[in-house]
Amino acid sequence: MRYIVSLTVESRREHRLEEVLALLDAVPEAKIVEGRGRNAMKVDMSPEAARHIREEAGSLLTVTEPVELNLLGKAG
């Protein structure tokens, strides 16, 4: 199954965004599907990977609960 997670960087400072991108790069299955290089991104990753990112990022990042995609590729 595929899941989409919304990430929001809590600081507009450039180095904060770089930290978040580095965290995502460390998770091989995480694939940014929208918003790379912006403060808000949608990422295709498993719920386990989302938990890992949430724990590693702390207050740097807001991570929504994963939304499962149906076979048509729409959130549902």
CATH of the domain at 58: 3.30.70.870
In order of 17, 68, 72, 76, the CA distances from 21 in angstroms are: 6, 23, 28, 27
Specify if 73 maps to a domain.
no
Q: Between residues 70 and 39, which one has the greater pLDDT?
A: 39
Q: How many structural domains compose the chain?
A: 1
Q: What's the whole-number mean pLDDT along residues 2-6?
A: 86
Specify if 76 maps to a domain.
no
Q: What is the value of pTM for the model shown?
A: 0.76
In which domain, by residue range, is 40 found? 3-68
Specify if 48 maps to a domain.
yes
Specify if 75 maps to a domain.
no
Report the alpha-carbon distance of residue 35 to residue 37 in Å, rounded: 6
pLDDT confidence bin for 44, thresholds 50/70/90: very high
